[in-house]
Amino acid sequence: MIATNPSDVSNRRRSLARLYTALVGALICGILGPALPLLVLVFRETSSFREVWAALYVFVMTWPFAIMFVGAPGISFGAIGALWIRFRSKRSPARRLLLEALLLGALLGAIVPLTTRIFGPNSREFLRYVTPVAAITGAICAFLAFHTLKKLGLLVAIQVG
């Protein structure tokens, strides 16, 4: 029989929960995040069935490029943001935590275009138009990450009493 130390098992579970939390944040913000503004841009002026199919084709063809352009910072900031949400869930009520998550998502989302300036367009006008969209996208990603973490049971409950 192999004797296991209960604290080792508990540490392993906490580590796995942190890993899953980071993966959820990374996937939502790095894969789904670039799709959100792209969906708005592609589908904003479609009026006929043919235009919807054409817009869908454009979306499918451009989404990988959007992921290549902003996916890496989205993955990094998504994982950091999700871990921060999990860390704050120990000390904050759900409504306050959601507000903090939205603000953190907006902040981290706004930072993404600044990081892409290293590799991408080097224009101030590009940043002026993209940064607000990225902040809104970051807040939406944070909202989705918060609810996904909550549904998966990865947020730590507040101890009352």
Full DSSP string of 31-83: IITTHHHHHHHHHTT--SHHHHHHHHHHHHHHHHHHHHHHHHHHHHHHHHHHH
User: What percentage of the chain carries pLDDT values higher than 70?
Assistant: 87
Examine the pLDDT at 151 and tell me if it is beyond 80. Answer: yes
Residue 20 sits at the vertex; the CA angle it makes with 62 and 66, to the nearest 5 degrees, is 10
pLDDT in tens, 79-119: 999 999 999 998 888 899 999 999 999 999 998 888 776 66
**Closest C-alpha to 141, from 23, 17, 21, 36:** 36
Q: What is the model's pTM?
A: 0.82
Residue 55 sits at the vertex; the CA angle it makes with 54 and 61, to the nearest 5 degrees, is 90
Using 50, 70 and 90 to split pLDDT, how confident is the model at 47? confident
Note the residue count of the chain.
Answer: 161
User: Helices 49-88 and 6-27: crossing angle, nearest 10°?
Assistant: 150
Examine the pLDDT at 32 and tell me if it is beyond 50. Answer: yes
